[in-house]
């Protein structure tokens, strides 16, 4: 069973993971610098 805490952990990981399509910035960094 998936818990709210697990979803929050994965969401945080995805939003802080660098992406090639964003010039190796994380989505969070990209939005903060926009």
**Which letter, b or e, does each residue of 12-30 get, where b requires 16 or more Cβ atoms within 10 Å of its Cβ?**
eeeeeeeeeeeeeebeebe
Alpha-carbon Rg for the chain in angstroms: 12
- CB under 8 Å to 30, separation ≥6 — which residues? 22
| Residue 3, pLDDT score | 98
Number of domains making up the chain: 1
User: Would you say the C-alpha torsion 26, 28, 31, 34 has a positive or negative sign?
Assistant: negative
Look up the pTM and report it: 0.70
pLDDT tens for residues 1-34? 999 999 999 999 999 999 999 999 999 999 999 7
Query: What is the span of the domain harbouring residue 16?
Result: 4-33
């Amino acid at each position: 069973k998936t818990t709210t805490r697990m979803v929050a952990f994965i969401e945080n990981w995805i939003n802080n993971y660098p992406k090639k399509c964003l010039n190796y910035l994380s989505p969070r960094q990209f939005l903060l610098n926009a």
